[in-house]
Structure 1
Amino acid sequence: MPRQQHRRQLVYMTNQQHANRWRRLVRGKKECWSKHERHQYWQAGAHVEPSAAFVRQKTEYERMHHRCTEGITDWKAFYFNQSEGKSATADVDGCKYAFLIPGQWHGLGNRIMSLISTFTYAFITHRAILMPDDGILPSLLCNPFAHSSWLIPASQFWAIKADLEKGPRNLAEQPGKHSRGVFCHLDWMTPEDEWTFFCKRTQEEVAEKPFMLFWSDMFFVPPLYFVPSLRARLEALFPDRRVFTHVARYILLPANYLWDRIVRSYHGHLEHHDVLLGLQIRPVDETQEDIFERVLACVTSTQYLPAVILPDQWQAMADDVEDEGLRGAQGESIGVFVAALNGSYASRLSTLYSQGKPYSAQTVSIYSETHDTTERQDDRQQYAAALEEMFLLSFAHRLITSDFSTFGYTAAALAAIDPWSLNIVKRAEVDWRSNDRPVCQRTVSEPCALSIRRQFKCPDGDSHTSDSETAFVRTCPVIDAGLHLELPRIPDFIGAV
């Protein structure tokens, strides 16, 4: 066994022994295992640490959340009493709230985009985030707060939601008689005149409202930087601009049953490799052969995987291999974790690297977890499997994801890895088969805010098209209807630690 691999296994055994001992001590208590163990698995992005200001703000936010939710058992009555100016039994002076409908009728990736964005907004504007206890996310995640819960009874939540929906949508219209709060509806179909939510004057009006209802299916953090007051808070808390990474590592905590599955899969199949490559292939409705060829071209052109000599080419290539020698680290073991709804991609890669001869001294092993062929709404088992795959991808040293995929966005941001993005997702604006498009291209770990452009107008006539203070909010690669944050490049993982 190579010395480096042996050392890593000893470190894991020590960590696992501590984890097992800790779990025995807290057995019977409502402790979240992933909250205490997750950081030991993010190897490539382990150096990405939250700022001291963010750590302090977490403590202050949890204290505020506890004060603003403690003792409230009937949220429906509390909401209407507060809205009508009646006295409340709880000490809620100065408290404001953000109610979240987490991406209904969408996949898990979109729900996570909504959760991270809404929490970020609540975090920087000092609002207590709350959501119904009957949703998909509560079944998958631990409560992140030490002394309060972000869940309220579903029947009470939906009564509040029904009332807030009557209010001004994104404050694009005059509030009128409904003064209880604001309905913030942000998705890829939101018309341009409602993007005024990301304008200075609108946010000044929103700040006066005690209640906000958020419905979204997208990552809407980048345009928050257009509001000077919000930009100042974001820059203080996230000087590296890795907003999604730090927020997701804080609140995206798999429940114990799911975390146990994740770590068992990792230690059972993935952790013993010198290099772990995560490969996420999103589409299921395109020609499999076309996509497989592009996937293979990407993994070899990036040199993440070696090219393969097929059996019928062995004799013809023998002299060249002997003359040139085998490339790659001697004896290096590469594990490839494939996350795809279509299981044929993993099986074809496995066949290719088991029957062919890698044009290097490296060994390649292929692994995958699920083989569902369709994405089913409200299938909790499928959502649990999806979150498991997101975290397993995030434990990789290197990542290749699919363009426009919120699934891939989540994995890359958790890992704090700048992935290569496969140009394989069908969109009306882009022909991925075009010869002038590369098979894959390097992107950043923060997600793209799809569908929003800089060109939207604010009520005061201001625009963001030439704002030098937000020049780092750039148009997403490949498609112009989207914004992302420019980040310093993270170097590739080189070899075993």
Structure 2
Amino acid sequence: MVTAAAATVGGSMEFGMTRSVSAVEEGIMGVARSLSLEVGGKSKFFRNVRTMRFLLALIMSAIVAMVAVSRLKLLVDPWFSSHHETQQPPLQQLLMSSSSSSNPLSNPPLLTHTGVATGHNSAKNHLSSTELKLVPSPVVAANRPQFHSSIVDSTCTSRGQQEMYRDSAHQSPRSGLLDQALEEYTRMHSHCALYDGDGSSDVKTECRYLVYLEGYEGLGNRLLSLVSAFAYAMATKRALVIDARRGHLAALLCEPFRDSSWLLPPGFVDEVWGAPNLEDAMHRGFQNVSAVRINLRHEQTRADQRFFCPATQQEGLQNVTWIGWESNQYYVPRLFMIPSFWSLLSPWFPDPSLVFTQLTRFLCLPQNQIWARIQRVHESYLASSMMQVGLQVRRNLNADNATLAESVQELIMNCSLKYHLLPRPAMHNKEPVVVVQQQQLKPPPDTGAKSSSSSRTSAAVLVTSLHMQYYEKLRNLYLEHGTEDGTVVSVHMMSHDGVENDSYEQAVKALMEIWLLSFSNKLATSSWSTFGYVAQGLGGLHPVIFNFLALDLDDHTGPACWLGQSSEPCLHYPFVKQLECGNVPMSKQQSNWIATHIRPCQDEKYGLQLCSGLH
């Protein structure tokens, strides 16, 4: 109807404009005929003047009419087009397989919804960031916190829009000191930019650089390592650059720093890849060493671990121009254990449980094409529900971690009910509860009376896993039985690739899923999952943690699940006891801070995790 109405109005405008032009033409022809008959005589001259005045008035009237019609068309057309574009598109148009195009960003990935996998769409791509117009449903508009960002960045729209999708409890604003530090770092990065405006590259003698060398693990490990490198770069005043030849992060994420690029120019590659490791540099006493390649992966030598000794930082690496950073871990907790770094970092983060949250929301923002897909999925399938729940299922110690196991399904359901992530299914029901369209739902009145069908609450559940069996089980459970309290539950899954690979297409899906999970009101993640760590940290969420490790290890003594003590990721391999730094002088204030804010991880007893200190 909207399209038809727009066509009708457009047709009326075109007819009106044609009629105005025709009137002008007829007037001109009439005046020309009258002028051709006027010859000689004073009275005829004045008649000619009157005729010319009539002609001029007629032309001016026509011009005014055409301008008015044009302005009306400019005002009306966008109204119709925006209402037309914001209608929920068919699922096969909304999310198309990204493997169907040579350009991975031209089409979004598959989304499974109520068990139907979508096909391809050859029509116009609806996900252009310039076309995207978000009109939240009345339910969403009523419940979403009002957020007015001063950040307007057309090159990275997610920078100013990300907080629109989080409730007020999880917006986690940065401290004033951290904002000031980020602003100063951005200016330093611009001053030390390796790319000049004319396309050439140069190194200023007063600048030092940290080159992020992307690893081969999954996206979760890479993002954890990248944020750790950024925290170290801020503490040491090094310009963070990334070698885009390996991996996908540079193609997934926006340029984070205003007025400068974080891409490593090709001419500087040998500076890092050919550099000595930390042990060799220490043997040389860091004499004539301009670059060092640091190994902070989970397999490290004792010499590699000396990176965290204060003497290595202050007497060795401080004057090295280039540091190559290789890691697959989240080493920020270890940085707080170095006295000189602690004195810088602790004032920036009054709540240490939000370090990853605040740095990631600054550094790891999706590029516009990916952000537009995230918005489309969220607005079409999740936003209209009053409660959004994320369930991330990953069995790290299982050879085929996506194969359905009834014990895993039982654990998911029991823990979700225990921590009130999901409403209790009405198992006694023989017929499924009638599903009310979620766009018509309103919050139930707080009267204590039983909700009617017109005021049911709703929950949208996003399941992320390599395979779809866990999603299917949960979806069928609520379709067949409904819920005891009448809550309408919709279950969604965005991808189910079966196996993890190193493709760009899968990396795009993974980044989308991480961001969508981070928008949840409630979240459950899997023990030892770096993917889950990034989602909970980005969202500032304390998740319920599914202890799948206990199942895989046949450990019947451990809990099936627990509530996370922090939104921070876990550092699995801190190597604290093996360090040989000697006697490190540490203030009593720092010692008390560490005792309060750094704890063993709940899913790795030898790991370390930053916490708020509140029990």
Using structure 1 for the length normalisation, give the TM-score: 0.82
Q: Please point out which of 173, 177, 190 is paired with 1:53.
A: 177
- Measured after TM superposition, the shift of residue 35 of structure 1 is 1.1
Is contact 2:210–2:239 with CA below 8 Å preserved after alignment? yes
Q: Greater strand share, 1 or 2?
A: 1
Q: Please point out which of 575, 582, 603 is paired with 1:460.
A: 582
Is the partner of 2:581 in helix, strand or coil?
Answer: coil
Q: Deviations over 1:318-346 (max 9, x none)?
A: xxxxxxx9899972211111111111111
- 1:130 equivalent to 2:241? Answer yes
Equivalences for 1:30-49 in 2 at 5 Å?
Answer: 31-43=155-167, 45-49=169-173
Which residue is equivalent to 1:342? Answer: 467
Which residue is equivalent to 1:307? Answer: 424
Which residue is equivalent to 1:322? Answer: none
- Measured after TM superposition, the shift of residue 169 of structure 1 is 4.4
Which amino acid in the other structure matches residue 305 of structure 1? L
> Greater CA deviation, 43-52 or 406-415?
43-52
Tell me how far apart the structure 2 counterparts of residues 361 and 311 of structure 1 sit (CA, whole Å). Answer: 13
> Greater CA deviation, 239-248 or 132-141?
132-141
> Greater CA deviation, 298-307 or 191-200?
191-200
Q: Deviations over 1:199-243 (max 9, x none)?
A: 211211222222111000111100111111101111011111121
Is contact 2:335–2:341 with CA below 8 Å preserved after alignment? yes
Q: Please point out which of 206, 209, 218 is paired with 1:94.
A: 206
Tell me how far apart the structure 1 counterparts of residues 137 and 376 of structure 2 sit (CA, whole Å). Answer: 19
Which amino acid in the other structure matches residue 495 of structure 2? T
Percent identity (aligned) = 28
Q: Please point out which of 399, 404, 410 is paired with 2:523.
A: 399
- 1:226 equivalent to 2:337? Answer yes
Q: Deviations over 1:397-450 (max 9, x none)?
A: 011001111111111111101111111147xxx955422222211111000011
Is contact 1:311–1:355 with CA below 8 Å preserved after alignment? no
Which residue is equivalent to 2:226? Answer: 115
Is contact 1:331–1:363 with CA below 8 Å preserved after alignment? yes
Q: Deviations over 1:326-375 (max 9, x none)?
A: 89997221111111111111111000111013232322110110011000
Tell me how far apart the structure 2 counterparts of residues 404 and 232 of structure 1 sit (CA, whole Å). Answer: 30
Structure showing greater Rg: 2
- How many residue pairs were aligned? 448
- Measured after TM superposition, the shift of residue 94 of structure 1 is 2.2
Tell me how far apart the structure 1 counterparts of residues 217 and 472 of structure 2 sit (CA, whole Å). Answer: 28
Equivalences for 1:437-448 in 2 at 5 Å?
Answer: 437-443=558-564, 444-448=566-570
Tell me how far apart the structure 2 counterparts of residues 96 and 363 of structure 1 sit (CA, whole Å). Answer: 56
Which residue is equivalent to 1:371? Answer: 496
Is contact 2:211–2:264 with CA below 8 Å preserved after alignment? no
Tell me how far apart the structure 2 counterparts of residues 331 and 366 of structure 1 sit (CA, whole Å). Answer: 17
Which residue is equivalent to 1:106? Answer: 217
> Greater CA deviation, 250-259 or 356-365?
356-365
Which residue is equivalent to 2:386? Answer: 274
Q: Please point out which of 267, 283, 298 is paired with 1:188.
A: 298
Which residue is equivalent to 1:434? Answer: 555
Equivalences for 1:464-475 in 2 at 5 Å?
Answer: 467-471=591-595, 472-475=597-600
Which amino acid in the other structure matches residue 220 of structure 1? Y
Is contact 2:351–2:612 with CA below 8 Å preserved after alignment? yes
Q: Please point out which of 406, 410, 413 is paired with 1:296.
A: 413
Which amino acid in the other structure matches residue 440 of structure 1? C
Going from structure 1 to structure 2, the CA distance change for 1:296 and 1:187 (only over 3 Å counts) comes to same
Unaligned stretches of 5+ residues in structure 2: 1-135, 432-448
RCO greater where, 1 or 2, for CA within 8 Å and sep 6 or more?
1
Which residue is equivalent to 2:326? Answer: 215
Q: Deviations over 1:251-288 (max 9, x none)?
A: 11101110000000000000011111111111242652
- 1:262 equivalent to 2:374? Answer yes
Is contact 2:520–2:539 with CA below 8 Å preserved after alignment? yes
> Greater CA deviation, 223-232 or 471-480?
471-480
Is the partner of 1:358 in helix, strand or coil?
Answer: coil
> Greater CA deviation, 440-449 or 356-365?
356-365
Going from structure 1 to structure 2, the CA distance change for 1:462 and 1:313 (only over 3 Å counts) comes to farther
Tell me how far apart the structure 1 counterparts of residues 271 and 169 of structure 2 sit (CA, whole Å). Answer: 40
Q: Please point out which of 53, 63, 69 is paired with 2:193.
A: 69
Tell me how far apart the structure 1 counterparts of residues 545 and 282 of structure 2 sit (CA, whole Å). Answer: 35
CA RMSD of aligned residues (A): 3.3
Is the partner of 2:365 in helix, strand or coil?
Answer: coil
Tell me how far apart the structure 1 counterparts of residues 143 and 406 of structure 2 sit (CA, whole Å). Answer: 42
Is the partner of 1:151 in helix, strand or coil?
Answer: coil
Which residue is equivalent to 1:237? Answer: 348
Is the partner of 2:235 in helix, strand or coil?
Answer: helix
